[in-house]
Amino acid sequence: MPTRKLDLKPNYGIDAPDLMRFFFIGGAVALAILLVVIFSSILGGILKIIVAMLVGVATIYLLGMGCFMIYGSKVMKLKDSENLLNLIQWSGKERVLDVGCGRGLMLIGAAKRLTSGKVIGIDLWQQQDQANNSSAAVLENAAIEGVTERIEVETADMCQLPFSDNFFDVVVSSWAVHNVEEERDRQKALDEIIRVLKPNGKIILSDIVYQAEYAKYFERHGMANIQLHNNAIRDSMLKAVTFGSFAPSAVSAFKST
């Protein structure tokens, strides 16, 4: 039985690190401009107040979004993944696929719930999607969590999965499918997920956008018991502050026999 490295903690990275850096750099620039406006005589009267208010709002928004991205990657995403994995009634013998496994969050969470089963994670390891994204990072996190013997990692495209039909009991994915830009290509990924899933197998697909698109596609292709798992209040707030570009929730479905 593999043992966990108790002196280390897994590192599941930061999502969209370039965007996070943009928020912090933009926030720092906005803060510098705000200080210049406040403490200089460049502007005066009501114009100074208006400009200071506008730049102040921009400063708060940019720095706040940067901080939220860290929270989302380091706290919220971990809690959401655990809650979603708990939706499955595990026997411990499942064969599981994690599509776009990143640094292994869902993959390792599923592996912890297995005894004789196995989890395979696939990814293309794009650095713009997740900081320091690599198969080596997955294996390091798996070793820390003591599940190395229950996982495999492969480099593969979700639009062309290298597995036979009806191969997996469970397919999971977290914040990955939206990275496929074209709708027709996302549909290819969904087709592949459905293809490799066994009859009566379960899909849990978590993402930050396109969840309604996924649910409708599953319905058109005969999936059963399609459910949206979200937090309505949180999602409404996040959509408001991100102009509709970020609202993490998940779609689950069963493959009909």
Q: Which comes out higher in pLDDT, residue 103 or 132?
A: 103
Per residue in 88-124, pLDDT (tens digit) is 999 999 999 999 999 999 999 999 999 999 999 999 9
Please tell me whether residues 149 and 22 are part of one structural domain. no
Per residue in 29-45, pLDDT (tens digit) is 999 999 999 988 887 78
CA–CA distances in Å: residue 6 to residues 29, 121, 142, 145, 146: 41, 24, 13, 8, 10
Please tell me whether residues 102 and 173 are part of one structural domain. yes
How many CA atoms are closer than 13 Å to the CA of 134, on its beta-carbon side? Answer: 4
Please tell me whether residues 69 and 84 are part of one structural domain. no
Please tell me whether residues 125 and 47 are part of one structural domain. no
CA distance 252 to 223: 10
Per residue in 170-224, pLDDT (tens digit) is 999 999 999 999 999 999 999 999 999 999 999 999 999 999 999 999 999 999 9
Residues 88, 204 contacting (CB under 8 angstroms): yes
Per-residue pLDDT at 3: 54
Please tell me whether residues 213 and 237 are part of one structural domain. yes
Please tell me whether residues 32 and 69 are part of one structural domain. yes
Please tell me whether residues 245 and 143 are part of one structural domain. yes
CA distance 170 to 121: 12
Q: Does the pLDDT at position 161 exceed 90? A: yes
CA–CA distances in Å: residue 182 to residues 30, 130, 179, 227: 34, 20, 9, 24
The model's pTM: 0.87
Q: Does the pLDDT at position 7 exceed 70? A: no
Tell me the Cα Rg of the chain.
21
CA distance 122 to 104: 10
Per-residue pLDDT at 2: 54
Listed range (3-12, 131-140, 145-154) with the worst mean pLDDT: 3-12
CA distance 55 to 198: 54
Is 38 part of any domain?
yes
Please tell me whether residues 231 and 207 are part of one structural domain. yes
Domain harbouring 88, CATH code = 3.40.50.150
Please tell me whether residues 110 and 231 are part of one structural domain. yes
CA distance 145 to 255: 31
Is 10 part of any domain?
no
Q: Does the pLDDT at position 23 exceed 80? A: yes
User: Quick one: CA torsion of 146, 149, 153, 159, rounded to 10 degrees?
Assistant: -110
**Total count of residues recorded for the chain:** 257
Give me the domain span that covers residue 30.
17-73
The strand pair at 151-155 and 224-229 is best described as unpaired
CA–CA distances in Å: residue 76 to residues 81, 129, 194, 248, 249: 9, 17, 27, 10, 11
How many distinct structural domains can be found in the chain? 2
Per residue in 192-206, pLDDT (tens digit) is 999 999 999 999 999
**Closest-CA residue to 248 (of 226, 231, 233, 227):** 231
Give the residue from 56, 73, 90 where a domain finishes. Answer: 73
Residues 13, 103 contacting (CB under 8 angstroms): yes
